Amino acid sequence: MSKRRTIDARGSFCPGPLMELIAGMKMAEVGEEIEILSTDKGSASEIPEWIHKVKHEHVGTEEKDGVWHVLVKKTH
């Protein structure tokens, strides 16, 4: 099973959650999964755009009680 870490970016506005994810991705190992939590709706769509652009894997996005959980796997 892949290693997974969670980054809590709730309360931060765009592009704060994206930047926090990228900082976390830099420290992660290839194959590791990172879940970013965000209350910013714009970031919930912006983050998958970035994931596709830089060719990591967007595992999925879920919204629970106003919090978006975006899961990404580092592929390179």
Rg over alpha carbons for the chain, rounded to the nearest Å, is: 11
Q: Which stretch binds other proteins (CB under 8 A): 29-37, 50-58, 67-75?
A: 50-58
Residue entry with tokens 């990591």: 56
Catalytic residue among 7, 12, 14, 59: 14
Burial of 11 (0-12, 13-18, 19+ CB in 10 A): exposed
Q: Which of 16, 58, 59, 73 binds other proteins (CB under 8 A)?
A: 16
Q: Which of 7, 10, 15, 57 binds other proteins (CB under 8 A)?
A: 15
Q: Which stretch binds other proteins (CB under 8 A): 28-36, 48-56, 57-65, 68-76?
A: 48-56
CB-based contacts of 75: which residues, under 8 Å, 6+ apart?
30, 31, 55, 56, 57
Which residues are at the interface with other proteins (CB under 8 A)? 11-16, 18-19, 22-23, 26, 46, 50, 53-54
Catalytically active residues, by annotation: 14
